[in-house]
Structure 1
Amino acid sequence: MSAPTTTPIPEGAEKATLAAGCFWGVEHAFRQQFSGKGLYDARVGYIGGDTADPSYKAVCSGNTGHAEATQLIYDPARLTFPQLVEFFYRMHDPTTRNQQGPDRGTQYRSGIFFHTPEQEAAARAVTARANAQWWGGRIVTEILPARQWWDAEDYHQEYLTKNPYGYECPSHEVRPFPELK
């Protein structure tokens, strides 16, 4: 079973929690893009549902209400929440409800789970710009308050680093969009 996260958070660090389909590829993409640039850690897990202590099998059933998600711990002096959200919109398809590529179900939905009012405001602002400039008004990403986070089982953590030929959702690619204005 999963467990609430116990990873210590460095002094002054902040959390960002994002869901963009299969969490293996999301975690891997954020590590590739931001390691050494203010990202302290990235964990995969479950959020957004009502089931306590969910397992991967239970989440995959679609009956828990949880999304597969990635929780990022970062240094806000080096990496901003808007930068993370902008990258989030570059690296997945936020226009398909409950789906990323061939992965279908509510656990694969696109979501931003904010931890502060400032994160909510930034998420809404970046979403509006990305919707207007990149995605033609089709973004279906949920923007919701973060509730209980559950770490996924250990074998899911850094899965694509441990299994470089493991499954990666084909919709997880960094798109070469122009800078948001």
Structure 2
Amino acid sequence: MSLPETTEKATFAAGCFWGVEHLFRKHFTGKGLLDARVGYIGGDTAHPTYRSVCSGTTGHAEALQVLYNPSEVTYEKLLEFFFQMHDPTTVDRQGPDVGSQYRSAIFFHNDKQEEAAKAVLEKVTKQWYKTDMATQVIPAGEWWDAEDYHQLYLDNNPGGYECPSHYLRTFPPLA
């Protein structure tokens, strides 16, 4: 796949990565999303597997890494969508999925992303959720692609498990 020179990367953890990928693709395909992969990040185990991550012993989160064209969609818009499509107020949990692998986290790739993530987190805390947030804003470490059968999982398995916490919440525009 040939990507534009201006391509940027964003990495989000918001619970079970199947639903996260599905919602991001559904919302941003044709609107700046160039590619998306599910995988593991944030832990200390090399070459993690789905089974090892689900054990809760690797420190990794199930996550989505997107490549996007910033002239078509801004990082801030991706962040706002991230906060709308999952519950960022629960620690290590999305609906029935419990464990550190299901945490809410923004893994930033540069100082500009860190600054934007913290600013949007502050706004959604005050304007949308009005409660403490569980979302972590942390540097992106090494990324590990999930096994092939996890990629595009809900497209390939239309009746597959989808976390009930993954849906688009409606909020007023951020000020």
TM-score, normalised via structure 2 length = 0.98
Per-residue CA deviation, residues 102-123 of structure 1 (Å, 9 max, x unaligned), is 0000000000000010000000
What is the deviation of 1:70? 0.1
The corresponding residue for 1:11 is: 5
Unpaired runs of 5+ residues, structure 1, are 1-6
| Pair 1:148-2:132 in alignment | no
Per-residue CA deviation, residues 77-135 of structure 1 (Å, 9 max, x unaligned), is 11111000000000000000000000000000000000010000000000000000111
What is the deviation of 1:8? 6.6
| Pair 1:59-2:53 in alignment | yes
| Pair 1:38-2:36 in alignment | no
| Pair 1:49-2:43 in alignment | yes
| Pair 1:139-2:119 in alignment | no
| Pair 1:169-2:163 in alignment | yes
AA at the equivalent of 1:23: F
Q: State the percentage of identical aligned residues.
A: 62
AA at the equivalent of 2:39: G
| Pair 1:119-2:95 in alignment | no
| Pair 1:20-2:7 in alignment | no
SS at 1:134's partner residue? Answer: helix
| In 2: Cα distance, 1:11 partner to 1:23 partner | 27
Unpaired runs of 5+ residues, structure 2, are none
SS at 2:105's partner residue? Answer: strand
What is the deviation of 1:9? 4.8
AA at the equivalent of 1:134: W
| In 2: Cα distance, 1:166 partner to 1:76 partner | 32
Instruction: Kindly report structure 1 stretches of 4+ aligned residues shifted beyond 2 Å.
Output: 7-10
Match among 92, 95, 100 for residue 101 of structure 1: 95
AA at the equivalent of 1:150: W
AA at the equivalent of 1:118: K
SS at 2:158's partner residue? Answer: coil
| In 2: Cα distance, 1:45 partner to 1:147 partner | 12
SS at 2:63's partner residue? Answer: strand
TM-score, normalised via structure 1 length = 0.95
Match among 100, 124, 129 for residue 123 of structure 2: 129
The root-mean-square deviation of aligned C-alpha atoms, in Å, is 1.0
User: How many pairs align?
Assistant: 175
What is the deviation of 1:138? 1.9
* Mapping of residues 74-85 of structure 1, within 5 Å: 74-85=68-79
